[in-house]
Amino acid sequence: MNKNKIEFVSCSIVVLLLFTVGKVNAQSNPILDNSQRLESVAEQNDQVTDFSELEEQLSFYKENPIDLNNSSDEELQNFGLLNSLQIGGLLLHINKFGKLIRLEELQSIDGFDLAFIQQILPYVKISEPLFDLRLHPKSLWEQGKQQLTLQWQRVLEKQNGYTDISTNASRYMGDPNHLKLKYRLVAGRYFSLGLNAEKDPGEQFFAGAQKSGFDFYSFHLFMRPGKYIKIISIGDYQVQFSQGLVAWSGMSFGKSSDVISIKKQAAGIKPYTSSNEFSFLRGLALSVGNKNLTIDNWISYRKLDANTTITDTLINLYELNSIGASGLHRNEYEIADRNKVHQEIIGSHLQWQKNAIKFELTYELAHYSQPLLKGEAFYQLYNWYGKDAMNYSAGYTWQFRNIEFFGESAFDREGNMATINGCLAALDPKVSISLMHRSFSPKYTSVNANPFREGTKTQNEKGFYFGTQILASRVFKIAFYFDSFKFPWLRYQVDAPTNGSEWLGQITYTPARTTEIYLRIKRQNKPRDETLHEHSIDEQVPTIKTNIRFNAHFKLSASFAMLSRVEWVQLNSIEKQTGSLFLEELQFHPMGKPISIILSYQMFNTDSYDTRIYAYEQDFPGSSSIPASYYLGNSYYMMIRYHCNRNLDFWMRYGRTLYDNKTVIGSASEAVQGNHKSDIKVQMRYSF
């Protein structure tokens, strides 16, 4: 490590220690920290990921807290913030001792420690429901909550796509403004009506290819009518069943510091409320059943973007090279790919549950109007191609005392198999473990799968995961996982079968209800191809990446909160590369005042993009930001919320990144000439 890096890290540690020394006596509750899970998703996915789906979910439950006393197993799973052991322990406690009188009672249930209880407080309640909207549909308008949200955002510097540097075909045809409109009427969990509209930067607005205004519109009508007709969904929706080997649209978490939560909490059919333009279905979904048996059916018809190859110019016959997921239509190339293929999906799910046993069957059939090409590279040998895909699976869950067994085995049209099996166990009130085995055939294909995995696709992978969580004392929690995985066939940029592993260890110290400090070490060994000598072929090289993070989050008073972080990364491959980051964040929420302010500053210094470091940033409700920091520079942002009255809120966010060793930021049409990049964002929300 060079002198500048040594000074950088030393200064960071000294500043962090100065901030964290001292006793904190404030009694305010910290917000739920999902940043660790989101950062883990970002680290495992090189593509830009939209996390607004989770932020939408948190925002919904903050406005409509779930009633722990009066929620079923299904409703608690849909909640998404409790793992299976916590849900089972809660329901058993209520069955034996009656409903909770105070939320602090959760401490007596296995899996609920004080720090976790404090984090979920804004999203739960234990009061009795005053009315049941399933029985009084006329009260929806009176009892429901309505929100109208308008959002504007743009990069302040001029990007190449808006200048003459770009060619005619790649030049952006619209302005750099990013616009969102959202309306939603919600009545608890029983009724939701919503409309989303979005214009991405560079897209036209009421002109050219977007004569209807926004480039993307999304609508949903979601109802839980009664006892036997459980769900009716019209418009845009998502389906999430079993362990995600057949039908799981939307975000899916994998490995994180929450080492026990590896079993997927399937939400079934749920309304789609995000602005992501790919990860949803469009059509009709219906769920019917009784106490023990539930049958879900769905049908979807959508137009998707696709890159195509003309095979016959006389009859305009073409094949698909790839299906686009970005939803961007800014220049001639992207507009030409818009709505080039029709996708039809039908599916069905049957669930039988009695006491501690649950059995599931899932079926889904997908059809495309044009055939998809396989690809010519060796690693693409087993890629799905053609017009039709079919998948079916059987899943199970069995709760035996403090142990829960779960799994799903799926097959595609050709009989290729993918399977996941695991268990969660509370060995002691202070010790829990999780185990999972997964095996995906290199030939298995599914268009709507999203299970726990290491790779980017649900194929060509075998792995075994072990995790444990230990409540060492009232203030110390230890979390550890080890994951061993194998890729039996070739992958993108890896021209041979490979083995790898990953482990994470984290110690969390919670001396007070307002203070959380953790130390984490994460190490991954994942071989990749490298050119070792000039004119030589690529060779497989061990690539070991180690991240060490020290993080402190606490309240200084009822109005002030602070987050401090130091992170260091080292990559050992052909040559050693390192990186480091220091982050400081202040949150000011004066009691009784209509304004709140968040200020954040970070310094980063990495040798390359391969040693990039992800850090979660605070954003508007329903929005997310987890940028990757790399090379040498610093960044900061400020976010202000002004609560005008009980109906009207305004947010403003300004951020800026400056580099010491770059003269161009980004690439191609997104590039900015210079060493800095700034963006501004404004949101208005009216509730009535």
- For residue 387, give the nearest of 365, 358, 417, 356 by alpha carbon: 365
**Pairing, β 431-440 against β 676-687:** unpaired
Question: Can you give the pTM of this predicted structure?
Answer: 0.89
Tell me what pLDDT residue 52 has: 66
Q: What pLDDT is recorded for position 31?
A: 42
pLDDT at 612: 95
Question: Strand ranges (DSSP E) for 528-630?
Answer: 528-530, 539-541, 544-555, 560-572, 576-588, 595-606, 613-614, 628-629
- Residue 458, pLDDT > 70, answer yes
CA distance 546 to 555: 30
pLDDT at residue number 66 = 84
pLDDT at 659: 97
pLDDT of residue 10: 52
- Say how many CA atoms lie within 13 Å of 484 toward its Cβ: 4
Tokens 């940043």 label which residue? 35
Nearest to 680 by CA among 157, 154, 149, 150: 154
CB atoms within 10 A of CB 317: 11
| Average pLDDT, rounded, for the chain | 87
Distant-in-sequence, close-in-space partners of 459: CB < 8 Å, separation ≥ 6:
382, 418, 440, 441, 442, 443, 444, 445
According to the model, what pLDDT value does residue 456 have?
87
Q: Stretch 333-362: mean pLDDT, rounded?
A: 95
Confidence of residue 50 (pLDDT cuts 50, 70, 90): low
Q: Which of 139-143, 443-447, 658-662 comes out lowest in average pLDDT?
A: 139-143
- Report the pLDDT value the prediction gives residue 316, as an integer from 0 to 100: 62
- CATH architecture of the domain covering 1-54+543-688: Beta Barrel (2.40)
Among the residue ranges 186-200, 304-318, 331-345, 429-443, the one predicted with the least confidence is 304-318
Spatial neighbors of 187 by CB under 8 A, at least 6 apart, are 133, 139, 140, 143, 144, 145
Q: What is the pLDDT of residue 49?
A: 54
Q: What is the pLDDT of residues 165-209, one digit of tens each?
A: 556 788 999 999 999 999 999 887 788 999 999 999 999 999 998
CA-nearest of 339, 326, 338, 333 to 171 is 333
Q: Categorize the per-residue pLDDT at 20 as very low, low, confident or very high, splitting at 50, 70 and 90.
A: very low
pLDDT over 80 (residue 419): yes
Query: Where are the domains positioned within the chain?
Result: 1-54+543-688
End-to-end Cα, the chain, rounded Å: 57
The DSSP call for residue 668 is G
In the predicted structure, residue 437 carries a pLDDT above the cut 60: yes
Q: pLDDT confidence of 531, banded at 50, 70, 90?
A: low
How much is the pLDDT for 317?
A: 66
pLDDT tens, position by position, 478-514: 999 999 999 999 988 888 899 999 999 999 999 988 8
Compute the average pLDDT of residues 389-414.
Answer: 95
Answer yes or no: are the C-beta atoms of 618 and 626 closer than 8 Å: no
Q: Helical H runs in 64-127?
A: 73-79, 84-97, 114-120
User: What is the predicted pLDDT for the residue at 180?
Assistant: 96
Q: Which helix (H) or strand (E) holds 82?
A: none
Pair 374, 380: CB distance under 8 Å: yes
Average pLDDT estimate for 114-131: 73
Q: What would the mean pLDDT of 638-660 be, rounded to a whole number? A: 96
What pLDDT shows up at residue 483?
A: 98
Query: Given the structure tokens 């021209």, which residue do they identify?
Result: 495
* pLDDT at residue number 541: 86
Question: Is a pLDDT exceeding 70 seen at residue 51?
Answer: no
Statement: residue 273 has pLDDT above 60: yes
pLDDT at 578 over 70: yes
What is the Cα–Cα distance from 47 to 67, expressed in whole angstroms? 37
Rounded distance, CA 226 to CA 649, Å? Answer: 35
Reply yes or no on whether the pLDDT at 421 is more than 70: yes
